């Protein structure tokens, strides 16, 4: 089970690094630049798949961590 957790954590790190840089885009909203940026930006194709896979891997990481904790 520990090996599965290590593999999932490596995959999760890679998926987060593959995602587009949304943090800098969100920073523009706070500073006043392009206030409609997030409302018009939609994920499509591979980007949407990577985002959903990141959520699934994150859920599996948390689930396995809880199982190993008990």
Q: Domain ranges in the chain?
A: 2-69
pLDDT reading at 55 higher than 70: yes
Q: Distance of CA 13 to CAs 18, 38, 63, Å?
A: 9, 24, 17
For residue 46, what pLDDT band results from cuts at 50, 70 and 90? confident
- Give the pTM: 0.69
Q: Regarding predicted confidence, which is higher, 10 or 41? A: 10
**HEC states along 8-48?**
HHHHHHHHHHHCCCHHHHHHHHHHCCCCCHHHHCCCCCHHH
Count other C-beta atoms under 10 Å from residue 59's C-beta.
Answer: 11
How far is Cα 44 from Cα 67, in angstroms, rounded to an integer?
Answer: 34
């Amino acid at each position: 089970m520990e090996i599965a957790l290590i593999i999932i954590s490596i995959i999760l790190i890679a998926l987060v690094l593959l995602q587009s840089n949304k943090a800098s885009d969100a920073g523009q909203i706070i500073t006043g630049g392009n206030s409609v940026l997030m409302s018009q930006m939609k994920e499509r194709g591979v980007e949407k798949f990577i985002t959903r896979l990141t959520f699934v891997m994150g859920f599996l990481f948390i689930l396995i961590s809880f199982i190993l904790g008990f």
